[in-house]
Structures are given as structure tokens and as C-alpha cells.
Structure 1
Amino acid sequence: MSLYHLYKRLGTIIIIMILITTPQLVNSQTEAPLKVGIAGITHSHVHQLLRRPEQGDIKIVGIAESNRDLAKRYADRYGYSMDIVFSTVEEMIAATHPEAVTAFGSIYDHLGVVEACAPKGIHVMVEKPLAVSIAHVKKMEGLAKKHKIHLLTNYETTWYSSNHKAYEMVENNAIGELRKIVVHDGHEGPEEIGVNPEFLEWLTDPIKNGGGAVIDFGCYGANLVTWLMKGERPISVLAMTQTIKPEKYPKVDDEATIILKFPKSQAIIQASWNWPFSRKDMEIYGKTGFILSDNATNIRYRLDSKETVKSEKLEKRIAPYNDPFSFLSAVIRQKITLPPYALSSLENNVVVVEILEMAKESAKTGKAVQFKK
């Protein structure tokens, strides 16, 4: 073959390769970002979204916040225009037409956000927990199903590599049948760690937040346990709450212990505003071994009596499984499908609210509350 014909053939191959790959490249580069609105900015977790580097997957189109001073303070800090700030969710929706809304106001306000968004086909992601009560959650669940929207709940621990590694090990029967799950969550206290006053105001309100530490951090354990138990509801819930620092938290509990009874296992959820430091860790015990998720990336385990304890430092999860907003976009764009009782799913978080409400009832009466079938 002559040099001329060789170059010609190579050129043809290159052109074919370009034609094959170009549509994929164009599609990935031209797909419009998900248009996201923000409902409330008093919750300090909103900073994760406002300071998020531009990744091309989402675009903040509007903010609903009645506190103009707070909105202006954050506008100066993060550089968004006050032109996209509206007094109500309804005004924000009408002006900006978001595809999804993320809620960063009080837990009590979550119902109102869903009532505003669902009939218009707008998907919603709320910060944990999903709702303040079973009454609210039933309305939210009904609206989401009727209008066929995604209603997701965001937890920091959803993005922990350690928790997903532990789940996989349980799934693969690495420690045998589950016997006990112990989850620790919390910090020194919201006032102690210096949360912003707008957040502290409703976080310590029994109506707006639904309770104190029992809600704020009890939800993490209920979420993880429901996931590990594949949605199985407990037989009963026994809880004890107390206020150790009434001078700081006179209206709500700051310490809570919740015990969930299952047919062949138990779960203990320890939620506190009295830990000596922040923690979000979990212990999982099976018939033959145990797994300890120490933090987002560190895990220890002992699979049987003959082994010693092994430790692993895991890599962070990759997109879209490492970030709530990439995840939200991927779910709405149908790039991923939520498995049953996934951590962010509606079905999981309905159970979470049921557990928390029963925990509050148990703490009030001093008796275990039987889970209604």
C-alpha cells in the first residue's frame, strides 16, 4: 500500500471516530443545567449549595426568603443578585419556573413547600428530616404521588463512603444475620457550635422543628436503620429524652435515646446536643462479626472470631453519588433510579418520621409504643 493510500485510510477512520463520538460530546456539553429554586435560607446547610463551585449540572434561578436582611447578607457573601430573591415560594416559582426546589427553612415549612411545588410538577428536596409529624408527612406523600414528583430528603451521612461499604458488606452476609445497630449523631449543641441566629430560632422551637435533638439527630439513625433493614418497620419504639441544659434549650430536649425492636434484632439511636465533639458514626453487629463506620471514609470490621480488626480508608464517592445536588439532577434527569428504601427516598423517610413521632410519644408516656401495621 502506498503512503498516500495509508494516509487516506487513516483519515477515513479518524473521521468515522469523530462522527461516532461527537453526538455524545455535544450532548454532555449542551445539556441544560437543572433549574433549581431555594425555599428559605435560614438552615445553615444552605451554605453547601450557595458556595458550591459551578459544575454545569444545576443553576440557581430563584430564592424565596422573607428575611431580606439575611438574603442581602448572603448575597454579599456569595455574589448572587437580589433580583432573584422573592418573599414567597409562590412568587419565586411564578417568576423563575424552577424544575426543582430545595428547602432550607424550618422542618414545619416543608409541607408548604411541597404544597406549592407538587401541583406544578416541580420536584422537591428537603433537608432532613422530611417532616415534623405523621400528619404532615401523609399530606406530602399524597401530593408527591398524585403529581408524580420526586420528593427527596438530604442527609450528610447519605454521601459517606463508609456507610455504603458497610451496607454492601451486610448485603453480602459478611457478618451474618443482623443483631444490633447502634448509631451516634450530634455535637456539643447548636448554640455551642455557633449556628446562625435565624437557624437557632426555629431549631430550638418544638413546633417549627418538631423537637430538639430527638428530631435534629435522631432522624439520621432512623434513616440508616430503615435502609439497612430494607424498609422493615420495627415492632416497637422505646425512647427517653431529657433537657440537660435548660438554660440554653428550655423548650426542647437536648438528649435522646431511641430503641427500636425488630423480630431478631435491635437498633439503638443516640442523638445528642451534649457530645464532647461532633460525631456521625455507626456500629453494626451481626451473628458472626461487626462493622464500625467511624466517619465519612474510615471503616473498621471484624468478620469472625478468628480474625483481628481490620481498618480501611476509603475514597470519597464519585458523582453523582457524592453530592446532594448532583444526585438531585441525576434523579430528575432519569440518569439514576432510586432502589427501594434508598436513603434519600420518600418511602424510607416516611418510616423515619413515623419512628420519630413514636419516639416522642414513648418519651412522654415512659412506655414502649407498638408500631401500627
Structure 2
Amino acid sequence: MADPRPVRIGVAGLTSDHVWSLVGALRALPAVEVVAVAEPIEALRRRAVEAVPGVGEHQDPEAMMAAERLDAILVCAENAAKPSIAVAALERGIAVYQDKPLAATGEQAAVIADAVGRTGGLLMCAFHTAFDPLFDEVGQLVRDGLIGTVQFARGLAGHAGLKATGVSDDFTAWLTDRSRGGGGSFVDQAGYLLTTLVTYLGPVGRISGFATTVNPEIPADIEDNTAAIVQHEGGALAAIDTRWGQVGPTPLRYSFHGTTGTLSVFYDRYELVTTSARGPEGWEPTAAPPGLTGWRAVVTPRTSYDAEAAHFVAALRDGAPLRAAVTAPTALHVQQVIDAYYESVTTGRAVTVPA
């Protein structure tokens, strides 16, 4: 029988703009209570009190954990602060639901992953796109051999810029500070792409990276436009790019190029060109070059904070397994790939990712 007691959750850090949607998703779940917040910025604590009447207020996460009876914490602090918060929680037997990425650097991420292994505690690093059903659908198509053996893949991510998309000043302050965030658009956005590609194609072996800073409002020591070539340990190559400051949307999300076809994943549809005479069940035929067939399926992106919050609570309350994409080992590997990218940008050489 499921434990009837409410799950009591504290929030450590309020400077990530994701926090407000995540708190709302948690509070919408049955028998879940957000009981306390810890944040040194008073204006953010005031906003939390307005959003969650009666919530306990603390300036320091460890003080909150000492004063409150908590089953879990939601960590939405700056990336460099995550290791101390997550480790303190795990050592107290408190589960951790963490905004992405795992930390600011691979070294910091390893500290968290080590604490998960040492304590046996629960930690979920929420790469939000992993909870879009398209994540599973596309992965299954690739694993089922729809396009044969994948030889090359591509992932793209970008938005109009921090100011243009309404990112708060408190969030921007650490997103654009290398010591607090870990870098620029690559550490901010590439984790989504890397988590997807690692899930579909396996671990990354090497990466070669390039970076530019175009917007004069972005500090020169971080990047707002990136490109990287990735070689997976299984042999497949991939290209990924990220942008802060893109005019218009990025309609193409991913493409996968295999020995028998190409699958393109757009925001609103899948498109397939294949050597096969038949397409997937329910897909509509489209034009294709001679000797090939073309197929199309309309889809709706369904990324949901509600789904990830429910996934974490099910793992905490019922012992349900976390999906691999949001576990500490996957998040650590992704962070190590990101570290290798930055090393490649600095050295001008391809860099091997630690095994």
C-alpha cells in the first residue's frame, strides 16, 4: 500500500526561472506539499510566499534542511551551487529533484554522482525534453531500425536571446557568469541535445567544438553561438549547435541518417525518406526521389513539467525506477562531454571524453 502521508518538499534556490513552473507542477500532484524555500534574495522569497501561502522561508538551503522535515528538495539554484546543496540533502536522506544541468563543471558533477552512489539516495536531473513523449517515440523508431544503422545525426537548439525571451535578471546574472553557470549557450542548451543523442546512440567518445560571441551584451568569456562534432563510442557521428540570439524559430530539432533512410524530426512533424517500399503504420506517403519512398506524420510537442514532477514523485513514493536519461550517471556523462567541448574550444583539438 502506498504511503498515505504527504510528500514534503523544500525548494533550494529560486534564481532559475524554471522554478515557478516546477513548483506549480509539484503542487498539482495529490499528496504533495511544498513546505519551505531557501533563497538569499528577499524579493524571490516574497514571490514564493505569494505563490505558496504559508511556505516556510530560509536564506540558506542547509538551514532549511536542518529546520524542516523534508522528504525531498527541488534544486533551482545556480549551477555552481548545486553540488553543496545536493550532497547535503543526500547525506541527510533527502531525495533530490534537480533542474538541469547537474552542475557547472564535470568535476562538480562527479561530486554529486559520487554522493548518489555513496548514499544510495534518489537524485533526478531533469532534462525537461526527456519527458516529451516524442523523446521516447523517436528513440523507439531509431532503435527499431527504421533507417537501418545510424551513421550520422544532428541536433539543434536555439532561442531569440536572454532578453528577448524574457529571462529574469536574477537568472541572467549567473547564466552569463562562467564561474557560476559553467559557460554560455552550450552548457545551457546542449545538455538537451546530448541527453537525447546519448540515449539513442550510446556514450560519446570524442568531441570537437567551436564557439563565437556575437551579442555585445554577452560577456566575452562565454559563448552565444556554438557548433560541435561528436563521435559516439559506437561509431556514429553527430553535429550539434546552440544559439542565444536566433531570428525566428528552429523548425528542425533532430535528423538521423542511416544505412536505409533519413528521419527528420521537426517541431510539428516527422519526415522519412527510405529505401523501403513501406512506411510506418499510420504515416502518410509524400514525394521522394526516384527509387525511394517518402512518409510523413503530424505530431504535437508535449514537453511537460507535470510529467517530470510526477515521474520524480513516483520514484520517491513508490520506488519506481527513474528513466536512464535523467539519472546521475547519464547527467555526469553529459557534463563530461560539455567539459570536453570547452576544452576543445580552448585547445583547437578534438578531446576524448572520460570513460
TM range (shorter): 0.7 to 0.9
Aligned residue runs from structure 1 range 232-271, under 5 A: 232-234=203-205, 236-262=206-232, 263-271=234-242
Structure 2 residue matching 1:333: 3-state secondary structure: helix
357-366 vs 269-278, which deviates more? Answer: 269-278
Which digits, 9 at most, give the CA deviation of each residue in 1:321-355, with x for residues without a partner?
Answer: 9622111111122452235xx21111111110110
What letter is aligned with 1:102?
Answer: L
Note closer, same or farther for the CA distance 1:41–1:298 as it changes in structure 2 (3 Å cut): farther
Determine if the alignment matches structure 1 residue 273 to structure 2 residue 209.
no
Note closer, same or farther for the CA distance 1:36–1:303 as it changes in structure 2 (3 Å cut): farther
Aligned residue runs from structure 1 range 90-239, under 5 A: 90-230=62-202, 232-234=203-205, 236-239=206-209
State whether residues 226 and 351 of structure 1, in contact with CA within 8 Å, keep that contact through their aligned partners in structure 2.
no
Which digits, 9 at most, give the CA deviation of each residue in 1:91-138, with x for residues without a partner?
Answer: 211222211111111011110111210111111121111111121122
Aligned to 2:285: none
Structure 2 residue matching 1:72: 3-state secondary structure: helix
Aligned to 1:50: 23
TM-score by length of 1: 0.84
Q: CA RMSD in A?
A: 2.2
Aligned to 1:69: 43
Partner Cα distance (1:317, 1:68) in 2: 31
Partner Cα distance (2:31, 2:337) in 1: 34
Indicate which of 303, 322, 327 corresponds to 1:338.
322
Determine if the alignment matches structure 1 residue 300 to structure 2 residue 282.
no
- Any unmatched runs of 5+ in structure 1? 1-26
Partner Cα distance (2:303, 2:12) in 1: 27
User: What's the CA shift for 1:51?
Assistant: 3.1
Partner Cα distance (1:317, 1:40) in 2: 23
Q: Greater Rg, structure 1 or structure 2?
A: 1
User: What's the CA shift for 1:206?
Assistant: 0.4
- Any unmatched runs of 5+ in structure 2? 276-290
What letter is aligned with 1:42?
Answer: T
State whether residues 63 and 85 of structure 1, in contact with CA within 8 Å, keep that contact through their aligned partners in structure 2.
yes
Note closer, same or farther for the CA distance 1:69–1:315 as it changes in structure 2 (3 Å cut): closer
Structure 1 residue matching 2:215: 3-state secondary structure: coil
State whether residues 33 and 57 of structure 1, in contact with CA within 8 Å, keep that contact through their aligned partners in structure 2.
yes
Which digits, 9 at most, give the CA deviation of each residue in 1:295-345, with x for residues without a partner?
Answer: 3x6433334363213123258589xx9622111111122452235xx2111
What letter is aligned with 1:49?
Answer: L
Higher share in strand: 2
Partner Cα distance (1:62, 1:111) in 2: 20
Indicate which of 316, 319, 325 corresponds to 2:309.
325
Structure 2 residue matching 1:132: 3-state secondary structure: coil
Structure 1 residue matching 2:114: 3-state secondary structure: helix
Determine if the alignment matches structure 1 residue 311 to structure 2 residue 297.
yes
User: What's the CA shift for 1:196?
Assistant: 0.9
Which digits, 9 at most, give the CA deviation of each residue in 1:244-284, with x for residues without a partner?
Answer: 11234434110111111135311111111022245482222
What letter is aligned with 2:247?
Answer: P
State whether residues 57 and 326 of structure 1, in contact with CA within 8 Å, keep that contact through their aligned partners in structure 2.
no
Note closer, same or farther for the CA distance 1:118–1:88 as it changes in structure 2 (3 Å cut): same
State whether residues 218 and 224 of structure 2, in contact with CA within 8 Å, keep that contact through their aligned partners in structure 1.
no
TM-score by length of 2: 0.88
Note closer, same or farther for the CA distance 1:298–1:38 as it changes in structure 2 (3 Å cut): farther
